[in-house]
Amino acid sequence: MKRHWMGFMLAMITPKIILNGQPMLGRWGRNVIPLPPGQYHLHVHLPYLLPAQIGPADFTLWLQPGMAFEIEYRAPVFAYARGALGPAPQPWNGQGCTIALLVVAGGLALLFLLILISILSLG
Protein backbone atom coordinates (compact mmCIF):
# COMPACT_ATOMS: atom_id res chain seq x y z
CA MET A 1 0.00 0.00 0.00
CA LYS A 2 1.54 3.23 -1.17
CA ARG A 3 0.71 6.92 -1.03
CA HIS A 4 2.28 9.72 -3.07
CA TRP A 5 4.52 12.20 -1.26
CA MET A 6 2.03 14.96 -2.12
CA GLY A 7 -0.59 13.01 -0.15
CA PHE A 8 1.39 13.14 3.10
CA MET A 9 -1.83 13.79 5.06
CA LEU A 10 -3.05 10.30 4.08
CA ALA A 11 -0.51 8.87 6.53
CA MET A 12 -3.03 9.65 9.29
CA ILE A 13 -5.71 7.47 7.64
CA THR A 14 -5.64 3.69 8.08
CA PRO A 15 -6.38 1.89 4.79
CA LYS A 16 -9.34 -0.51 4.80
CA ILE A 17 -8.91 -3.91 3.17
CA ILE A 18 -12.01 -5.95 2.44
CA LEU A 19 -11.45 -9.52 1.24
CA ASN A 20 -14.56 -11.37 0.02
CA GLY A 21 -16.71 -8.96 2.03
CA GLN A 22 -14.74 -9.43 5.27
CA PRO A 23 -12.91 -6.35 6.63
CA MET A 24 -9.25 -6.89 7.53
CA LEU A 25 -6.62 -4.80 9.26
CA GLY A 26 -4.55 -2.81 6.79
CA ARG A 27 -1.58 -0.49 7.09
CA TRP A 28 0.65 1.56 4.82
CA GLY A 29 3.49 -0.51 3.44
CA ARG A 30 3.53 -4.25 2.95
CA ASN A 31 0.56 -6.35 4.13
CA VAL A 32 0.96 -10.12 3.99
CA ILE A 33 -2.29 -12.11 3.86
CA PRO A 34 -1.85 -15.91 3.70
CA LEU A 35 -4.73 -17.48 1.75
CA PRO A 36 -5.68 -20.97 0.58
CA PRO A 37 -6.15 -21.55 -3.18
CA GLY A 38 -9.31 -20.08 -4.69
CA GLN A 39 -10.93 -16.97 -6.10
CA TYR A 40 -10.89 -13.76 -4.08
CA HIS A 41 -12.38 -10.31 -4.46
CA LEU A 42 -10.20 -7.60 -2.91
CA HIS A 43 -11.44 -4.08 -2.18
CA VAL A 44 -9.28 -1.30 -0.73
CA HIS A 45 -10.22 2.27 0.21
CA LEU A 46 -9.37 5.01 2.66
CA PRO A 47 -12.20 6.05 5.02
CA TYR A 48 -12.89 9.79 5.11
CA LEU A 49 -15.66 12.32 5.77
CA LEU A 50 -16.51 13.83 2.38
CA PRO A 51 -16.31 11.71 0.30
CA ALA A 52 -16.87 8.74 2.60
CA GLN A 53 -14.22 6.74 0.74
CA ILE A 54 -11.04 8.01 -0.89
CA GLY A 55 -9.47 5.95 -3.64
CA PRO A 56 -11.72 2.91 -3.82
CA ALA A 57 -10.22 0.11 -5.91
CA ASP A 58 -11.23 -3.49 -6.61
CA PHE A 59 -9.35 -6.53 -7.89
CA THR A 60 -10.32 -10.17 -8.40
CA LEU A 61 -7.60 -12.80 -8.21
CA TRP A 62 -7.30 -16.56 -8.57
CA LEU A 63 -4.74 -18.33 -6.38
CA GLN A 64 -3.41 -21.73 -7.43
CA PRO A 65 -1.89 -24.17 -4.87
CA GLY A 66 1.55 -22.97 -3.77
CA MET A 67 1.16 -19.68 -5.61
CA ALA A 68 2.24 -16.30 -4.19
CA PHE A 69 0.66 -13.20 -5.69
CA GLU A 70 1.86 -9.66 -5.09
CA ILE A 71 -0.62 -6.81 -5.55
CA GLU A 72 0.06 -3.10 -5.26
CA TYR A 73 -2.43 -0.46 -4.09
CA ARG A 74 -1.66 3.18 -4.79
CA ALA A 75 -3.82 5.82 -3.18
CA PRO A 76 -4.89 8.61 -5.54
CA VAL A 77 -3.13 11.96 -5.46
CA PHE A 78 -6.49 13.76 -5.89
CA ALA A 79 -9.13 12.76 -3.29
CA TYR A 80 -11.95 12.33 -5.82
CA ALA A 81 -9.99 9.94 -8.07
CA ARG A 82 -10.03 6.16 -7.81
CA GLY A 83 -7.14 4.24 -6.32
CA ALA A 84 -5.11 1.79 -8.38
CA LEU A 85 -4.98 -1.90 -7.43
CA GLY A 86 -3.28 -4.74 -9.29
CA PRO A 87 0.14 -6.10 -10.22
CA ALA A 88 2.95 -3.56 -9.73
CA PRO A 89 3.62 -0.95 -10.90
CA GLN A 90 0.28 0.86 -10.66
CA PRO A 91 -0.31 4.47 -11.78
CA TRP A 92 -0.82 7.49 -9.51
CA ASN A 93 -4.44 8.34 -10.34
CA GLY A 94 -5.44 11.99 -10.03
CA GLN A 95 -1.91 13.33 -10.42
CA GLY A 96 -2.85 15.50 -13.41
CA CYS A 97 -5.76 17.12 -11.52
CA THR A 98 -3.55 17.88 -8.54
CA ILE A 99 -0.83 19.45 -10.68
CA ALA A 100 -3.44 21.54 -12.55
CA LEU A 101 -4.92 22.78 -9.25
CA LEU A 102 -1.46 23.67 -7.93
CA VAL A 103 -0.62 25.57 -11.13
CA VAL A 104 -3.90 27.53 -10.96
CA ALA A 105 -3.38 28.32 -7.26
CA GLY A 106 0.21 29.40 -7.93
CA GLY A 107 -0.91 31.59 -10.84
CA LEU A 108 -3.56 33.27 -8.70
CA ALA A 109 -1.04 33.86 -5.90
CA LEU A 110 1.41 35.39 -8.38
CA LEU A 111 -1.32 37.59 -9.86
CA PHE A 112 -2.32 38.76 -6.36
CA LEU A 113 1.32 39.51 -5.55
CA LEU A 114 1.76 41.54 -8.76
CA ILE A 115 -1.41 43.54 -8.06
CA LEU A 116 -0.23 44.18 -4.50
CA ILE A 117 3.21 45.36 -5.71
CA SER A 118 1.64 47.69 -8.30
CA ILE A 119 -0.70 49.19 -5.70
CA LEU A 120 2.15 49.75 -3.24
CA SER A 121 4.40 51.28 -5.93
CA LEU A 122 1.69 53.79 -6.92
CA GLY A 123 1.19 54.98 -3.35
SS3 27: coil
Q: Is residue 102 part of a domain?
A: no
Alpha helices in 28-94 (DSSP H): none
Q: Which domain holds residue 21?
A: 5-93
Residue 118 domain flag: no
Predicted TM-score (pTM) above 0.75: yes
Domain contains 113: no
Strand partners, 84: 74
Q: What is the pLDDT of residues 48-80, one digit of tens each?
A: 988 899 999 999 999 999 999 999 999 999 888
What Å distances lie between residue 55 and 6, 28, 38, CA to CA?
15, 14, 26
Cα separation, 66 vs 44, whole angstroms? 24
Q: Is residue 11 part of a domain?
A: yes
Distance (Å, whole) CA 106 – CA 123: 26
Domain count, the chain: 1
Let me know if residue 104 belongs to a domain. no
pLDDT tens for each residue of 22-47: 999 899 999 999 999 999 999 999 99
